[in-house]
Amino acid sequence: DSGVTQTPKHLITATGQRVTLRCSPRSGDLSVYWYQQSLDQGLQFLIQYYNGEERAKGNILERFSAQQFPDLHSELNLSSLELGDSALYFCASSPLRDSGANVLTFGAGSRLTVL
Amino acid sequence: AQSVAQPEDQVNVAEGNPLTVKCTYSVSGNPYLFWYVQYPNRGLQFLLKYITGDNLVKGSYGFEAEFNKSQTSFHLKKPSALVSDSALYFCAVRDWDFDGGSQGNLIFGKGTKLSVKP
């Protein structure tokens, strides 16, 4: 157990729907990162939050949004879902904001299937 | 822009033989480099990192990696492979912003599938 908790583990939904993925970071970690893993794109960075504030943005679609709450858990909202959004979504956390030596600790992932 | 390349999609090794998983990098600024492993239906697990100092970095499960600045490489190695080492291995580099310097997120390679046969 890495200490990073993601729910749900699996999610099956239809095109056009909206889903929310949840992440609780490791105790003491202030930064949360979201990644998307698909067969054709590999591991893509979506977005980072640090202590409640958006810190960095990657290849996140406009249909996707995220936030980090005062208790430091984070949610990734995916809307108007398309077949191509089917992927494994990972959350990771780290203690500091941008230290080069930071190690990201990953959760087990949420597998989203869009039918 | 920061990037890493893993030139091999798959590496096959016999148990007991040494293994090498290759990674080359391209960076602006300091190369903060990482190796992660992903077992089936699991998240990524940290193996080791290079920040500064010795070019040979030792990590978890007997793995080590050699940082080579002139060849811009950071190959993952293990002297004697185990069947249980079979997994997907990712090389990663810390992102870099010219205004802010080192960023928090990692940029990952495509991954290399390691298969160790008995």
Using alpha carbons, list the distances in angstroms from residue B88 to B38, B82, B85: 5, 14, 9
Q: Kindly give, in sequence order, each residue whose CB lies less than 8 Å from that of residue B76, ignoring residues fewer than 6 positions away.
A: B20, B21, B22, B23, B35, B47, B63, B64, B65, B89, B91
For A68-75, which contacts have Cβ atoms below 8 Å and span 24 or more sequence positions? Answer: A68/A32, A72/A24, A72/A25, A72/A29, A72/A30, A72/A32, A73/A22, A73/A23, A73/A24, A73/A25, A74/A22, A74/A23, A74/A25, A74/A32, A74/A34, A74/A49, A75/A20, A75/A21, A75/A22, A75/A23
Mean pLDDT, residues A89-107 = 85
Higher pLDDT, A92 or B52: A92
The amino acid at B2: Q
d(CA A109, CA B59): 24
**pLDDT for the residue B84:** 95
d(CA A2, CA A92): 10
Judge: A56–B95 Cβ closer than 8 Å, yes or no: yes
**pLDDT for the residue B101:** 59
Mean pLDDT, residues A51-76 = 94
Give me the average pLDDT of each 10-residue run along chain B (118 residues). Answer: 92 98 90 93 92 92 95 97 96 76 80 96
Judge: A98–B90 Cβ closer than 8 Å, yes or no: no
Using alpha carbons, list the distances in angstroms from residue B36 to A50, A104, B114: 22, 10, 13
Judge: B106–A105 Cβ closer than 8 Å, yes or no: no
B105 contacts on A by Cβ (under 8 Å):
33, 45, 48, 56, 58, 104
Residue B51 CA to chain centroid, in angstroms?
13
- State whether residue A84 is helix, strand or coil: helix
A5-9, A57-61, A86-90, B9-13: least confidently modelled range: A57-61
Mean pLDDT, residues A70-98 = 93
Residue A2 has pLDDT above 60, yes or no: yes
Q: How far apart are the first and last CA of chain B?
A: 41
Higher pLDDT, A12 or B30: A12
| Residues B1-32: tens digit of each pLDDT | 789 999 999 999 999 999 999 999 998 877 89
Residues of A with CB under 8 A from a CB of B: 2, 4, 31, 33, 35, 42-43, 45, 48, 50, 55-56, 58, 90, 92, 94, 96-109
**pLDDT for the residue B94:** 87
**pLDDT for the residue B29:** 75
Q: How many CB atoms lie within 10 A of CB B117?
A: 11
Report yes or no: A109 and A37 within 8 Å, Cβ to Cβ.
yes
**pLDDT for the residue B100:** 57
Report yes or no: B17 and B80 within 8 Å, Cβ to Cβ.
yes
**pLDDT for the residue B52:** 85
A35 contacts on B by Cβ (under 8 Å):
108
Alpha carbons within 13 A on the beta-carbon side of A46:
26
Mean pLDDT (chain A, rounded)? 93
Residue in B30, B36, B105, B110 to test binding to A, most A beta-carbons within 10 Å: B105
Judge: B102–A90 Cβ closer than 8 Å, yes or no: no
DSSP assigned state of B19 = E
d(CA B102, CA B92): 14
Chain A nearest-CA distance from B110, in A, is: 5
d(CA A38, CA B79): 31
B32 contacts on A by Cβ (under 8 Å):
100-101
Q: How many CB atoms lie within 10 A of CB B100?
A: 13
**pLDDT for the residue B99:** 59
